[in-house]
Amino acid sequence: MNGLYSIKVEWSPAYECIISLYTYIYEKERKHYLLGTAWKEETKQMLPASFADELADERWEVLHRLVLLVAQSPQTQSVEEFLGWLESIPPGEIYERLAPWVETIPLNLGEIRDRSLSLLTRWNEHYFSKVDPRILENLQRSADELTVRAKETPPIDLVDHVTNGIWIEPMEDLREVVLIPQYHCAHSSVLDFYRGLATCMYPVKDAATTKPQPLLELLSITQCLADAKRLQILHCLAKKTCTLGELQKQVSLAKSTVHHHVTALRRAGLIRAHYTGSTTISYYSLREAFVERLPVLLRSFFHGPE
């Protein structure tokens, strides 16, 4: 079953430019991101006031379609190249490029394209073009290393490894999973399913640093373990896989509270979230690798280089 889908590794600065704008605009998940709320305020100071005000009211929800277009663009060496290509192609060609993968496509593709071009061009000018080049270099390095690793690692295990616990179940109609490294949404992954294809923008948490940061991973694990209800959830999953509803019955909490706990546990790599063809999680399981990983992180933190 592991061989039912293949892995393709992609990377381009255009991907990171798009997801960085998405991170800035999308308020709901920002508290979970490594960059935190301080990044939003610092970035806002880099933008013209009129542009910052415009973004405050923006409901830009075309991230996923743009990711598909970057994957098909012949010009992705720079953000400017991709945006120039996107501006040059007619709406009819955009439709043809999306149609094999996307079930519902808006009729006003020209307007959406023009709006996205306007936002991304100004975002690139005022923010993304000033991003530390080390971040982009490390993302490219991650993609290169993953391409090599993909030759010897089963696809389902590779996805689990880079996402720290996303488990994409093999299905007859899923042919390929595209893995794209990203920094701005770390610790989160951005996962989407299309016809026969899934894209997963996986986090590279230490892309802004010159050396590994075991403290970041150590904190996320130990903070999760310092909670009685989360330990109870882990105990349940050590016995069997569970849906969210089954876990709710076990720990006697509101469904929203249980969801909050399992989301934290998944991001820390303590449990797996199993997906079966949609972005709704089917069930959860224990990711026992963290039991062996924790002492490694402790030794690295205590005895590693300063």
Q: What phi and psi values does residue 101 have, to the nearest 5 degrees?
A: -115, -30
Identify the pLDDT of residue 24: 93
Lowest mean pLDDT among 25-34, 138-147, 229-238: 25-34
pLDDT band at 31 (very low <50, low <70, confident <90, very high): low
pLDDT confidence of residue 33: 78
Q: Residue 118: its pLDDT value, please?
A: 96
Interval 74-102: pLDDT, tens: 999 999 999 999 999 999 999 999 999 98
Residue intervals in the chain for CATH 1.10.10.10: 214-303
Q: Which pLDDT value is given to residue 2?
A: 46
Q: Among the listed ranges 62-66, 185-189, 230-234, which one has the minimum average pLDDT value?
A: 62-66
Under the banding of pLDDT at 50, 70 and 90, the label for residue 9 is very high
* pTM for this model (two decimals): 0.91
> Is residue 110 scored above 70 in pLDDT?
yes
What CATH number does domain 214-303 carry, 1.10.10.10, 3.40.50.880, 3.40.50.2000, 1.10.10.1100?
Answer: 1.10.10.10
> Quick one: pLDDT at residue 211?
67
1, pLDDT greater than 50: no
Pick the range with the lowest mean pLDDT from 2-11, 89-98, 124-133, 273-282. Answer: 2-11
pLDDT at 20: 96
Per-residue pLDDT at 306: 54
Lowest mean pLDDT among 6-15, 87-96, 132-141, 292-301: 292-301
- Give pLDDT, residue 30: 65
Mean pLDDT of the chain: 91
- The average pLDDT across 125-147 equals 97
Is residue 247 predicted with pLDDT exceeding 80? yes
Q: Which two tokens stand for residue 81?
A: 């190249």
pLDDT of residue 178: 97
Q: Is the pLDDT of residue 3 over 60?
A: no
Mean pLDDT of the 165-186 span:
95
Return d(Cα 184, Cα 187) in angstroms, integer. Answer: 9
Mean pLDDT, residues 16-22: 95
